[in-house]
Every structure is written in C-alpha cells, then in structure tokens.
Structure 1
C-alpha cells in the first residue's frame, strides 16, 4: 500500500495543478472571446449604473447634506421611512401607483400578445412588414410629443374630438381635467405608444415554432383558431410568464415623464404617484434623503413581488426567471 502524501508532496501537486487550471481557464476564455466581448458592454453598464450607485442608498438613513457628503452627514436610522409611512399622503401615492399599474397589467399587457398573433396570421409578407413598421413608430416618439397630441385631441378649447362632439350637438367633455378619466388616458397612451414595440419579443417566440406542427394540425382538420389556441399560444406561454413576472417587479414604478406631463391641479389627487412625489419633494424641495427612502421602498416592493410571483409560477408547473 502506498504511503499517504506528505506535506511537501501535497504542495508540489497543488502548485502543478494551479498552472494547469489557469491554462484551462485562459483557453476557455480565448475560445469564447467573441461571446465575452458581446457580454462586456452589458456587464460594464450594469456595474457602473446599477451596482455602483447602490452605495447611495445609505442616504435614506441620513439627513444628507450635499456639502459634507455621505461620510459627513448625520445618521438618523429609519426616521425617513417612518415619515413616509405616517404621511397622510402615503395612502394616495400607494393607491394611485398600484391602480395605474394594475390597469396597465389588465388592459395593456395582453394587447401586444394579441397583436403578435394577428400579425403572425398575415399571409402577405409585404403587408405584414408594413403593419409592423406602422405599429413600431409610436415607440420612438417622446412623451412630450404624445402629451401634446393628447392635448390637441382631447382639450376643451382646441381638441378635435370635442369640436366634433359640439358639431354633432353634444356637450364638450373635460377629458384632461376630469379625475375619472385620468387613469384610462394613461393606459390608452401606453397601449398606443408601446404595443408595437412589445410585439417584438412575442413575434420572435412565435417564429421559433416548428412549421411542421401547423402542417400536422391542418392534416388533422384544425382551423386557424384551433392552431392558435393549441400551438401558437402554448409556444409563447413561457415568454408570457417571464414578462409577466418582470412586469410585476415594476408595480411600484410608474412612467414619471408621462404622469408629470399629463397631471394638472384638477387631477392631482389621482395623478400623484411615488415618482412625482420624489420629484417634488426630493428634487424641488431638496429633501434628498426622503426621495432616496421612497426609491428604496419601491425597490423592495418590486423585489418581493418578483420573488412571490416566481414562486407561485413554479408551483403551478411553469418555468420562472430562475
């Protein structure tokens, strides 16, 4: 029987294995150098703009003074969170933020899926590409342009729709200053602006379906609706589930520019959300610490919703995001 390794033999074996392991690592990196080169910009972006700024969450636990910086500011613990949660306006912010996102989830989220299925059924390629180009274009318009178009369509004074209503003998409607219309307007703007862009992922998922499955369905006598129900939708179900989970992570986040441009004193009670609260208090009034506390609260809510949704989805037998 061979004697056990001595300490000297162990050190020699480790020193011999280390260079070999290092060479294997470098060979693997060299073999996948083009893939790593593609990953590098994304890695640098997330490192610089997502992870490094996380150091700033310390401001939420301080009375932050820009002149003394984080290291010289007074620590106050959870004072700003207590101030946020005990503010009489907190309930309004929470209600508006969640309900706006809920309306987007119920009415906006399914529209790109429906449009993708419809585009996939178009048999004339030129007509399909034309429609895709038309529905993509609104995504590239800024929210300033979208808000201006909404004003020229719906305002009482110059709105085309109100002028048409008056010409037909009806009374004009204050779409932009009536609180009951505000959430619906935001949802309709999102549908018009982002539906086309949202179809890109779903069309890519549909393109991956094996055409032989459709051919077999035709042989079995399945019509177009049955093919959609039994082949197309099940094929894109994993994509739908993943995007739904990720969408839930933004339930505490509302498009700041859109809301800020559409809000006015008459609709503030239904328009004020966490993002506008951060802008008015954190930036305009210089309360940087309370603004950071709101941002941290939104991040925690999003994380909890993503983890909960992912756990529920996996229990239902679907694949989650991890």
Structure 2
C-alpha cells in the first residue's frame, strides 16, 4: 500500500472518530430504510412469476414478461395511465407554486401577530387525516345536507351532486389537496428564507426598492435552489398519486376519471388476489418514475445548475 493510500485511510479514520456521535444518530434511520425499503425488493421477482402461495416466491413458475404484456393489452391501461398523469400534472401545476407564493408573501409581512395567525390557520389542515378529510369533502358536497348546496339553494339554484360529476372530480381532488397541504409545504421555504441576510433587504430599501422588487430580486432567487430540488423530487413521483384519497372519493359514477394506477393495483392485487399482476404494474410504475426523475434532474442541472447529483 502506497503512502497516499495510507494517508487517505488515516484521514477517513480520523473523520469517523470525530463524527462518531453523528453516525450513531444515523444508524436507526439506516436500519429502518434497509428493513422497509431494501428487503422488500426481494418480492420484485413476483412480477416475473405466477405466484403460488404453497410453493413460495422462489418455487413459483417463471412467466417472464407475461404480466407486463397483460397490463399493456388491458382495456384499463390507457385510462389508468391517463387519469394518473392528468391528476399528477394538474396537482403539480397548482400545488407546487402556491406554497412558494405563500411563503414569500408571509415573509414580507412585518406584522408578526397576523403572520403567526395566518401560518397557524394554513398549517392546521395538514393534521387532518385523509379519512376524515374525505368524509368532510363528501359531507360538504352532499346534494342533500352539504354546505355548498345549501348556499346554492339560497340563490334559487338546484342542488348538484358534485361527487357524481366526472368533470368536477379532478378539481375537487386537487384543490382540496392544496387547501390541506399548502401551509405545511411552505415550511421548507420559510426555512430557506430565514437564511437570507437582512443586510441585503436593508441595502435594497436604501436604494428605493419596493416590496415586490425585494421579493423578485432577493427572496425568490434565495429559495430557487430549494424549489428546484423539490420540483425534481415531485417529478420523480408523477405516477405515484396517493391511493387513500383517490380511493375514498371514488364511486361508480366518477370511476372513469378517478381510477388511477394505485387504486387499480389495490383492486387487482388485494381484492382479486392477483399478486403477480399487481407487482408487475407497480414495478412498471416505479421504472417510469425513475426515468422521469433522471430526465428532470438532468434538465434542471443544465438550466439552473441545481440538481440532486
């Protein structure tokens, strides 16, 4: 072993000893990630086998790409992919910029009491469980006892069964999600804005800058790297629309627009007990997300110089 390698090894050893306490803090997270994220990868082979519970995963018959072909040829393939993409891009287009705008506006609000009140009000919906949230949505939009239809009745309008209207379902799904998560999602941007030096604002005010100019030329550029990273991560989960909310808001009348990949996988995998088929769909979903993540990360690196790696 040459002297350079020995020196490098000694440096690594010193760093490990110096940061031993920090590495100990990382151990629980590493162990949990290994248990819940890496060990389950063992089951990916189910996508290529006809699962037999008696024979087990290793003993099941090999089927190759049969289940992938079955999904591609399924009458549900185009509709589930399309519904998932529409909801994902619609949600990303709406829900991603709103927390940024909220953080920028509240950061420029100098009245601390009002700012804390607004933050509390916008954070609160995030702590409502998905099941309770969906129950509230269905109740508020009920054609008989719903608040919205009661207001419409006051203006002499006929009640509307919103949850049965296909043209309303995506809007309901996305905008209720914005209401629930916008405040909490803005926290990370508040953290980024906290690192902006007050001297920059003071110098800009001395030069006659308005609030809008402060936001545009100081605050927004300071959170742009954070926003870019979050955008990359969100694009990497385009096809992974949350299952719980979509499933709970589903009914037979809006199924043509509410049936997404995750709900379809649940029905064929757990309800119909077609484990191999659902695993193949899930693996296809993961591969598409990985490709999108790599593409968006590359594009972001070239355009802004900010990327995950």
TM-score (norm 1): 0.92
| Residue 266 (str. 1) matches residue 253 (str. 2) | yes
For 2:174 and 2:232, locate their aligned partners in 1 and report how far apart those are by CA, in whole Å.
Answer: 19
For 2:235 and 2:139, locate their aligned partners in 1 and report how far apart those are by CA, in whole Å.
Answer: 33
For 1:87 and 1:114, locate their aligned partners in 2 and report how far apart those are by CA, in whole Å.
Answer: 42
Q: Which residue of 1 aligns with 2:144?
A: 157
| Residue 114 (str. 1) matches residue 101 (str. 2) | yes
For 2:268 and 2:215, locate their aligned partners in 1 and report how far apart those are by CA, in whole Å.
Answer: 50
Q: Which residue of 2 aligns with 1:41?
A: 28
Whether contact under 8 Å (2:144, 2:159) holds in the other structure is: no
Cα distance change, pair 208–21 in 1 and its aligned pair in 2 (3 A): closer
Q: Which residue of 2 aligns with 1:253?
A: 240
For 2:175 and 2:98, locate their aligned partners in 1 and report how far apart those are by CA, in whole Å.
Answer: 11
Report the alpha carbon displacement of residue 123 of structure 1 after superposing the two structures with TM: 1.1
Report the alpha carbon displacement of residue 66 of structure 1 after superposing the two structures with TM: 2.2
Q: Which residue of 1 aligns with 2:127?
A: 140
Residue from 286, 292, 295 that aligns with 1:308: 295
Report the alpha carbon displacement of residue 317 of structure 1 after superposing the two structures with TM: 3.5
Structure 1, unmatched stretches of 5+, are 1-13
Report the alpha carbon displacement of residue 19 of structure 1 after superposing the two structures with TM: 9.1
What is the DSSP-based 3-state SS (H/G/I as helix, E as strand, rest coil) of the residue aligned with 1:321?
Answer: coil
Listed one character per residue, the Cα deviations across residues 62-92 of structure 1 (whole Å, up to 9, x for unaligned) are 0012222111101000000000011011000
What is the DSSP-based 3-state SS (H/G/I as helix, E as strand, rest coil) of the residue aligned with 1:316?
Answer: helix
Report the alpha carbon displacement of residue 310 of structure 1 after superposing the two structures with TM: 1.0
5 Å-filtered alignment, 1:20-169, equals 25-169=12-156
For 1:312 and 1:160, locate their aligned partners in 2 and report how far apart those are by CA, in whole Å.
Answer: 45
Structure 2, unmatched stretches of 5+, are none
For 2:4 and 2:217, locate their aligned partners in 1 and report how far apart those are by CA, in whole Å.
Answer: 54
Report the alpha carbon displacement of residue 35 of structure 1 after superposing the two structures with TM: 1.5
Residue from 217, 220, 225 that aligns with 2:212: 225
Whether contact under 8 Å (2:143, 2:159) holds in the other structure is: yes
Moved over 6 A (4+): 15-23
Larger Rg: 1
Cα distance change, pair 22–269 in 1 and its aligned pair in 2 (3 A): same
Report the alpha carbon displacement of residue 26 of structure 1 after superposing the two structures with TM: 4.2
| Residue 216 (str. 1) matches residue 203 (str. 2) | yes
| Residue 236 (str. 1) matches residue 223 (str. 2) | yes
CA RMSD of the aligned region, Å? Answer: 1.8
What is the DSSP-based 3-state SS (H/G/I as helix, E as strand, rest coil) of the residue aligned with 1:67?
Answer: coil
Whether contact under 8 Å (2:47, 2:279) holds in the other structure is: yes
TM-score (norm 2): 0.95
Whether contact under 8 Å (2:166, 2:254) holds in the other structure is: yes
For 1:169 and 1:128, locate their aligned partners in 2 and report how far apart those are by CA, in whole Å.
Answer: 39
